[in-house]
């Protein structure tokens, strides 16, 4: 039996979504129990408007047991997990803030259920932005586990740099499997205020400094948006100074931008990715990307920075356009190239093949075989 400690719906965000997909795929293969947080982030550390999904139909199947910043709760949560004597405990990790709680859980589970194998599923080995004692906390947690699972070559290299002494198993970030909207692409464009002739360039997801929206804006400042019918579409809650960032847009370009400053539902995301022509991901750093996984599912061409965490499974001019990280001039050239409908058509066709290779079925089969030692 597998116990899985992570963040799950009704919490929102990429890790909760990943965990939701994974638990459903594991349930098809083995006996698994899901454990969630009672409290995730304290309000002081959460820059967004709400930590929870708005969908009233969200299924809450994971038992809430762990309060991330209350040490008096950690032992009690671990005892609940250990009481089932699971064969495996899988813990999702993505930020050093959670390391102290997870370390206490591991210590207590080792004490109460010594035969349980403990694996860390590390979405990030190191955080994208600096955090006090981040490297120390990550290293200490990883070395408490029996093995560490990573989703990219970038994370493998970070594990080496931290001198993690445990077995590191590299898998991949699977592609999210979501159906197309019922509405046509043309109808969706009309609904969101675009025309069929617009070239919609999408920046999607939480707006944070490392994601490089400023680089996209600077590249677009060097193009004629009106003549090329380019319509930048920024969708995502701003976790940085919105006014300062958007003030970088040339005055004559501002009327061509559309901005949705909030977290959007999966339904809205499907609509937005369907109506767009390309996604721009000018990241300054990346471990892997759930947003890229979503784009692959909808066969949406992407322009991405040349980072290991983004380019591990894609090829230039085959499944994406790739430009040197933080090179605004080369990003501008990539945007000019993506205007060619033949380039976009080729990429869309190749993404159809790639999403089969990076499926959740393939990922879960590998997880069962390499981590839980069970043949699918």
Torsion of CA 282, 364, 176, 156, to 10 degrees: -10
Reported pTM: 0.84
Tokens describing residue 355: 């999403």
Cα-flanking dihedrals φ and ψ of residue 351, to 5°?
Answer: -65, -30
Q: Domains in the chain and their CATH numbers? A: 2-174+359-370 (3.40.50.11930), 185-357 (3.40.50.2000)
- Over residues 88-144, the pLDDT tens digits come to 999 999 999 999 999 999 999 999 999 999 999 999 998 877 888 999 999 999 999
Checking if the pLDDT of 49 tops 90, the result is: no
- Over residues 170-213, the pLDDT tens digits come to 999 999 888 899 999 999 999 999 999 999 999 999 999 999 99
d(CA 277, CA 345): 10
**Residues 294, 273 contacting (CB under 8 angstroms):** yes
- Over residues 316-329, the pLDDT tens digits come to 878 999 999 999 99
- Over residues 126-140, the pLDDT tens digits come to 887 788 899 999 999
For position 45, what pLDDT does the model report? 66
């Amino acid at each position: 039996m597998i116990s899985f400690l992570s963040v799950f719906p009704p919490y929102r965000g990429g890790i909760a979504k990943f965990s939701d997909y994974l638990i459903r795929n594991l349930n098809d293969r083995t006996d698994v129990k899901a454990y969630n947080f009672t409290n995730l982030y304290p309000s002081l550390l959460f820059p967004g408007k709400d930590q929870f999904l708005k969908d009233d139909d969200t299924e809450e199947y994971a038992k809430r047991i762990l309060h991330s910043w209350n040490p008096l709760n950690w032992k009690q949560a671990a005892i609940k997990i250990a009481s089932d004597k699971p064969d495996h405990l899988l813990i999702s990790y993505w930020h050093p803030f959670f390391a102290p709680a997870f370390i206490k859980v591991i210590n207590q589970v080792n004490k109460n259920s010594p035969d349980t194998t403990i694996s860390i599923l590390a979405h990030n080995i190191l955080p994208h932005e600096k955090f006090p004692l981040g490297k120390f906390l990550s290293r200490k947690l990883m070395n408490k586990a029996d093995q560490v699972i990573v989703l990219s070559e970038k994370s493998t290299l970070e594990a080496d740099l931290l001198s993690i002494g445990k077995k590191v198993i590299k898998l991949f970030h699977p592609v999210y499997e979501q159906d197309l909207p019922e509405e046509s692409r043309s109808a969706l464009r009309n609904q969101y205020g675009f025309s069929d002739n617009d070239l919609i360039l999408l920046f999607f997801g939480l707006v944070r400094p490392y994601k490089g929206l400023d680089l996209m804006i600077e590249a677009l400042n060097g193009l004629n948006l009106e003549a090329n019918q380019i319509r930048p579409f920024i969708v995502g809650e701003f976790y940085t100074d919105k006014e300062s960032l958007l003030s970088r847009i040339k005055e004559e370009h501002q009327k061509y931008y559309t901005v949705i400053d909030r977290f959007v539902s999966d339904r809205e995301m499907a609509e937005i990715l369907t109506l767009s022509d390309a996604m721009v991901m000018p990241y300054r750093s990346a471990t892997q990307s759930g947003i890229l996984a979503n784009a692959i599912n909808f066969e949406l061409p992407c322009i991405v920075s040349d980072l290991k965490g983004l380019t591990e499974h894609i090829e230039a001019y085959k499944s994406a356009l790739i430009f040197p990280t933080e090179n605004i001039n080369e990003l501008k050239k990539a945007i000019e190239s993506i205007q060619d409908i033949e380039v976009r058509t080729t990429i869309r066709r190749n993404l159809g093949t790639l999403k089969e290779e990076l499926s959740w079925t393939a990922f879960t089969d590998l997880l069962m075989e390499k981590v839980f030692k069970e043949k699918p």
